Amino acid sequence: MSTIHKGLTVTVTLDEEKISYVNGLLMEYRKDLKIYQEKFSTSLRGTFFLSWLTLPAQVYAEKEKLPARILLMSSYVGSQSSHLRELASFLGPQLKQVFGQSREYPEKELDESGLVDFLKAKSIPNTFYSGFKFISTEDVNREKSLKAEVWQYGQGLDGAGKRTSPREIKEKIETFVRNQPQLAWAAKKIPYGLSNKIQMLWPLALFGLIMLASLISLILCLFLDLLILKILAFIFPIFILVMGFLFLLLRLNENIPHSPSPELSDEKVREIVALETNPVINEMTVIAPLKKGWIRRIFLAITLKLVGLVAYFAYIPTVHTARWLQMDRGKRLVFIANFDNLSEAYAHDFVDSERRAMNMAVIFSHAFGFPATRWLIHKQYNHRSNYMKGVRAHQKVTQFWYAFQHELSVENLKRNRTFREGLNKKMNDAEIREWLLTL
Amino acid sequence: MVANPIDMTVLEKDDIQGLLLRGHGQLSSASYLLYAFTNPAKARHFLQVLVPKVTTAAEKPEDTAIQIALTYDGMAYLNLPDPVMQSFCREFKEGMTAAHRQFILGDTGENAPKNWNWGEKSPHFMLMVFGKSPEALQLALAEVNALTSSHGITALHVLPTGMLHNRKEHFGFRDDISRPVIRELLKNPENAQEETFPAGEFIMGYKNLYEEYASCPTVPAAMDKKGDLPPHPDDSNLKDLGKNGTYLVFRQMEQKVHAFWQYMKAQSKDNQSAIALASKMVGRWPDGSPLTLCPARPTPSLSEANDFGFWQDDKAGLKCPIGSHIRRTNPRDHLVTETSQKDSTEMAAKHRMIRKGRPYGPPFVPDLNPEKMITRKEDNQERGLHFICMVTDIRRQFEFVQNNWVNFHKFGGLEHDADPIIGNHYHNESRKTDEFSLPQYPVRRKLDQLPNFTLIKGGAYFFFPGIKALQYMADHD
């Protein structure tokens, strides 16, 4: 068990003439959602976000038509199988109705377990980022009310509080929490703390170990004549050589003149932003064919794997969740994010700092219409405006979007967690003062 | 070691309207006049007559000055070709009162355009007339009236201004201290003591912070028959209509001075605490000295201080609260969502504006002394600020700040706080924005049910063209 936040992506192809019908269905479900939000959140207990949309056909490398698709992208806490069961159980009829429009959907009637199998079979890997790691949907509400109750209690401390030492204040708060039956859960240790970290970090640790073992073997080969050492010793140099070779091929590909995306019409932009009217959290889906050349597909695939390895350490401000994935034999890049406030403000986060513009170029520079780069990360002329045009040109309308909660920003969620983590934790006075600021 | 080459770009001051580079501070009287054209041919003739009278940045006017800005509707009325009209940015084309722009700007509820005095229906253009004295201004206005009347132009609104004591705004706080400095205006930019900005952040036709030319309105080369316009720097098929111009954002903000000080008084044990609380909301003491540098009491020697940051000195907001007005409108080197001072500084710099507004209405008390304002009864006079800012990118600069920093109630990890001074404060099913959080030991203080201390009473997006662009519009047939 864990409380790691993960992403599920399910996709099937769709005949183009059915797009408007499926869009209509999804928009109807969107309307239902407004009425039945509470039912959704009680039935989809492990689900944070759900984006469901159709993707029109796109053209790859000026000649190959990539098929229209239906995409269902969810983020959840817990095991994938229980998440699939949760989806099939609560959204079964809707899933069948929408996916039933695809030729990939079985002709025979599916029961719940059949639907689970279908979703599983049609799911594809993604690189997933969460801005609030290890917080479950249940934690979101509990931690919010914990902080509110303690803040209320803190008002009573105010007069004498200024003269009370941080240690005493902390003890008073901890005693208050212990004495409130409804807050008894908060006095306990946060579950899965260690196993969450291990589960997230072991692939990186394994990768690092293999590379380290290879390096050490390389040195030991000078002194020992063992077959295993010789085999291991090859891994690191081969990895470096392959990456270097791929970099050279990428550099050659970068010489292909930049083709900007046609600018999105004002009308289309208005259609997209008209759905971005949620007070705190909104969603953005950008799907673009890759620039031509097989090296782009290979390089992006390796990049996404490496990004996945370091996801534990990644930080993207104001983002609740983000995911990147390749579809259609690597020829399409899908990016979806759930973030605080509006996409126009959010998109700036990627280009307003030099460092982040470089990081983003590692992925987005492979997508058609996005700015040209040199050696993957070095910007070329009009990087910022081409980037913003690229985002808009490939942004899709997400017909159905569900969020477990609409009220708390990423910073709110993180602060609530920091406050909970500080309860019953040993701290010095300076640390307590800092901890109290999260209240 | 070889130093970085310094950008020696020279600003074309004789093509730039004066207000963009100067505040006309020596011309203490001013009126902003809103008009509608009634005949396209007469409108163009009016512009032809007006162009030589427009004050350029190459002049230093001592008696009067006149500037002109046009809305999208105004330029559409001049029958400018469709490719030209389409080349303006979407925000400008839609106008400040379009439904989505209202949402972004927070112009809802009390601040909704239906409650404005003007702007719900866009004017066509605005003349900004300045005089060294009320008499000089009257003379200039008489000349303007004669000119507009003779061209069948309808006067919609007259917005008078009045400078206040000691460069203060109506709440009694020193205003306009933090101004971005345009690098190209300095003789030795490499020796600048403060952060400087490339001209392209504020004037079209020059490079901006991204080292690219800001998006600007254009004219297909074939349509510039008289050759009024310079070539576009990135596209030889186009002429640059934006060169030496900018977008001008105008917002008439009424200030509820009596309500402001009564709220502070109600939340405080005495007048000094009320002033301290108001200062926490602003982020500076009434004399201008920043709380970050002098949190306990005002320090007159720091009243112009602008060389400070928050990252090192006040990350938690214990001196100057995270949600205070100055930390929202210019977060300097600390954004809560950033992990480094460098990233924060880079991000904040991308959203600066040049402000040129002036107050209007009589001061609540002549010397704007907060202690007197706390005790004075309501006089029911309307007063406020004609907020004017100039930017080359309305969305990235003005709207971003207004939406993401001023009105977003989650700014900096806060929960229900819009900007305490200029934010839209309300409480409904989906949003609560009327709190103000004061970080303090042991537990933060939260003020609730803040009323709106400012109300939007009018506004529009204008294009503030260069002289050649103005000539093109006048010549266009």
> Comparing C-alpha atoms, which of B18, B349, B64, B2 is closest to residue B197?
B349
Quick: pLDDT tens for B339-377. 999 999 999 999 999 999 899 999 999 999 999 999 999
Fill in the DSSP letter of residue A38: H
- Which residue is listed with tokens 């109506």? B170
Q: Which residues of chain A are within 8 Å of residue B100 when distances are taken between CB atoms?
A: 270, 273-274
User: Based on the domain organization, do A214 and A315 belong to the same domain?
Assistant: no
Q: What is the dihedral of CA A251, A252, A253, A255, to 10 degrees?
A: 90
Residue type, A152: Q
- CA nearest B318 in A: which residue? A437
Residue B3: the pLDDT is 39
Residue B441: the pLDDT is 92
In a domain, B218, yes or no: yes
Mapping DSSP onto H, E and C, the string for A241-310 reads HHHHHHHHHHHHHHCCCCCECCCCCHHHHHHHHCCCCCCCEEEEEEEEEECCCHHHHHHHHHHHHHHHHC
Residue A160: the pLDDT is 62
Phi and psi at A328, nearest 5°, equal 55, 60
Is the per-residue pLDDT at A156 higher than 90?
Answer: no
Is the per-residue pLDDT at B255 higher than 50?
Answer: yes
Average pLDDT over all residues of chain B: 95
Residue bearing the bigger pLDDT, A30 or B1: A30
Mean pLDDT of A107-133: 95
Which residue in the set A166, A342, A384 is minimally distant from B210, CB to CB?
A: A384
| Neighbouring C-beta atoms of residue A34, cutoff 10 Å | 7
The share of chain A scoring above pLDDT 90, in percent, equals: 82
Distance from CA of B269 to the nearest CA of A (A): 14
User: Based on the domain organization, do A161 and A35 belong to the same domain?
Assistant: no
Distance CA A144, CA A425 (A): 19
Residue B355: the pLDDT is 94
The last residue of one of the domains, among A239, A254, A269, is A254
> Comparing C-alpha atoms, which of A359, A383, A379 is closest to residue A369?
A383
- CA nearest A170 in B: which residue? B442
Residues 319-378 of B with CB under 8 A from A: 335-339, 342-343, 346-347, 350
The region of weakest confidence among A249-253, A254-258, B399-403 is A254-258
Angle at A314 between CA A280 and CA A427, to 5 degrees: 85
User: Based on the domain organization, do A121 and A29 belong to the same domain?
Assistant: yes
User: Based on the domain organization, do A72 and A125 belong to the same domain?
Assistant: yes
H/E stretch holding A71: strand A69-77
Distance CA B68, CA B277 (A): 40
Distance CA B404, CA A343 (A): 11
User: Based on the domain organization, do A262 and A393 belong to the same domain?
Assistant: yes
User: Based on the domain organization, do A63 and A200 belong to the same domain?
Assistant: no
Residue A161: the pLDDT is 63
Is the per-residue pLDDT at B216 higher than 50?
Answer: yes
Is the per-residue pLDDT at A105 higher than 80?
Answer: yes
Distance CA B395, CA A143 (A): 36
- Which residue is listed with tokens 């970085």? B4
Residue type, B309: G
Q: What is the dihedral of CA B73, B77, B79, B81, to 10 degrees?
A: 0
Quick: pLDDT tens for A312-325. 999 988 999 999 99
Please indicate if any CB of chain B lies within 8 Å of the CB of A351. yes
Residue B188: the pLDDT is 86
In a domain, B170, yes or no: yes
Distance CA B3, CA A298 (A): 41
What is the distance, to the nearest Å, from the Cα of residue A268 to the centroid of all Cα atoms in its chain?
25
Going by pLDDT thresholds of 50, 70 and 90, the confidence category of residue B165 is: confident
Which residue in the set A151, A344, A415 is minimally distant from B413, CB to CB?
A: A415
Give the orientation angle of helix A227-254 with respect to helix A193-220, to 10 degrees: 100
Which residue in the set A155, A274, A433 is minimally distant from B441, CB to CB?
A: A433
In a domain, B155, yes or no: yes
Is the per-residue pLDDT at B428 higher than 70?
Answer: yes
* Number of structural domains in chain A: 3
3-state helix, strand, coil split of chain B in percent (to 5) is 30, 20, 50
Quick: pLDDT tens for B29-77. 999 999 999 999 999 999 999 999 999 999 999 999 999 999 999 999 9
Please answer whether residues B171 and B254 qualify as being in contact, where contact means their C-beta atoms are separated by less than 8 angstroms: no
Quick: pLDDT tens for B271-306. 999 999 999 999 999 999 999 999 999 999 999 999
> What are the tokens at A36?
């039945």
- CA nearest B86 in A: which residue? A266
Q: Which residues of chain A are within 8 Å of residue B82 when distances are taken between CB atoms?
A: none
How many helices and strands in chain A, by DSSP H and E?
Answer: 15, 14
Quick: pLDDT tens for A34-45. 899 999 999 999
From residue A167, give the alpha-carbon distance in Å to each of A364, A435, A436, B253, B444: 49, 11, 11, 47, 17
Mean pLDDT of A256-275: 88
In a domain, B411, yes or no: no
Distance CA B57, CA B36 (A): 26
Size of interface A-B (CB pairs under 8 A): 106
Q: For residue B197, give the 3-state DSSP assignment.
A: strand
> What are the tokens at A154?
């803190």
Buried b (16+ CB within 10 A) or exposed e, A43-81: ebbbbbbbbbbbbeebebeeeeebbbbbbbbbbbbbeee
User: Based on the domain organization, do A383 and A301 belong to the same domain?
Assistant: yes
Please indicate if any CB of chain B lies within 8 Å of the CB of A280. yes
Going by pLDDT thresholds of 50, 70 and 90, the confidence category of residue A122 is: very high
CB contact under 8 A, A439 and B443: yes
The last residue of one of the domains, among A235, A254, A273, is A254
Mean pLDDT of B323-352: 95
Quick: pLDDT tens for A371-415. 999 999 888 877 888 888 899 999 999 999 999 999 999 999 999
Residue B118 belongs to what domain range?
A: 27-250+460-475
Residue B4: the pLDDT is 42
Mean pLDDT of A52-57: 97
Is the per-residue pLDDT at B7 higher than 80?
Answer: no
Going by pLDDT thresholds of 50, 70 and 90, the confidence category of residue B120 is: very high
Residue A333 belongs to what domain range?
A: 5-134+258-403
Please indicate if any CB of chain A lies within 8 Å of the CB of B204. no
3-state helix, strand, coil split of chain A in percent (to 5) is 55, 20, 25
In a domain, B60, yes or no: yes
Average pLDDT over all residues of chain A: 93
User: Based on the domain organization, do A264 and A129 belong to the same domain?
Assistant: yes
Please answer whether residues B78 and B471 qualify as being in contact, where contact means their C-beta atoms are separated by less than 8 angstroms: no
In a domain, B105, yes or no: yes
Which residues, 6 or more positions from B43, have their beta carbon under 8 angstroms from its beta carbon?
A: B37, B77, B78, B124, B151, B153
Interface test with B, best of A149, A342, A358 (most B CBs within 10 A): A342
User: Based on the domain organization, do A280 and A248 belong to the same domain?
Assistant: no
Quick: pLDDT tens for A268-307. 999 998 988 898 999 999 999 999 999 999 999 999 999 9
User: Based on the domain organization, do A367 and A432 belong to the same domain?
Assistant: no
Is the per-residue pLDDT at B174 higher than 70?
Answer: yes
Quick: pLDDT tens for A328-371. 999 999 999 999 998 877 777 778 888 888 888 999 999 999 99
Mean pLDDT of B97-103: 95
Residue type, B467: I
Q: What is the CA radius of gyration of chain A?
A: 25
* Number of structural domains in chain B: 1
Is the per-residue pLDDT at B117 higher than 90?
Answer: yes
- Residues for chain B: how many in total? 477
Residue B2: the pLDDT is 37
Angle at B463 between CA B460 and CA B465, to 5 degrees: 155
In a domain, B268, yes or no: no
ipTM of the complex: 0.93
Q: What is the CA radius of gyration of chain B?
A: 22
Please indicate if any CB of chain A lies within 8 Å of the CB of B104. yes
Please indicate if any CB of chain B lies within 8 Å of the CB of A38. no
User: Based on the domain organization, do A235 and A357 belong to the same domain?
Assistant: no
Model pTM? 0.95
What is the distance, to the nearest Å, from the Cα of residue B166 to the centroid of all Cα atoms in its chain?
20
H/E stretch holding B437: strand B436-438
Residue A363: the pLDDT is 94
Q: For residue B207, give the 3-state DSSP assignment.
A: strand
Interface test with B, best of A153, A437, A438 (most B CBs within 10 A): A437
- Residues for chain A: how many in total? 439
Please answer whether residues B195 and B333 qualify as being in contact, where contact means their C-beta atoms are separated by less than 8 angstroms: no
Residue B193: the pLDDT is 79
User: Based on the domain organization, do A32 and A61 belong to the same domain?
Assistant: yes
> Comparing C-alpha atoms, which of A273, A282, A272, A284 is closest to residue A410?
A282
Distance CA B216, CA B228 (A): 16
Distance CA A383, CA A363 (A): 14
From residue A279, give the alpha-carbon distance in Å to each of A26, A247, A397, B94, B415: 22, 43, 18, 22, 12
Residue A193: the pLDDT is 87
